[in-house]
Amino acid sequence: MAISVLIVDDHPSFRATARLLLEVEGYHVIGEAKDGEEAIRQAADLQPDLVLLDVNLPDIDGFAVASRLTEPDADPAPAVILTSSRDPSDFGSQVASSGARGFIPKADLSGDSLAALLG
């Protein structure tokens, strides 16, 4: 069974590129969101296995969204992978403390990089 994915990014071109890349790799993209509030709503409604989440969103930063999606009472809590075009060293320990499984720079997004983080 394919892993279901919600893509969250405020740039439509990245969402389209990520969708294409993920679908070619066998993932099932079940939704897209352009901001944090929409991501939280769609994650509750769609219950994806994975949320590919941009750090820089217009309303709520991706770290706060990841924390809400992975709260202990979230049932079921999706795996969250954060993305950004910024250097990962800019984020320090925020990735781990947000509850995300990891971080992938947007330029390095691939089925292999996701699989490595998902185990």
pTM of the model: 0.95
The domain segmentation of the chain, as residue ranges, is 23-118
Contact 48, 19 (CB under 8 A): no
Which pLDDT score is estimated for 40?
97
**pLDDT tens column, 35-45:** 999 999 999 99
CATH classification code of 23-118: 3.40.50.2300
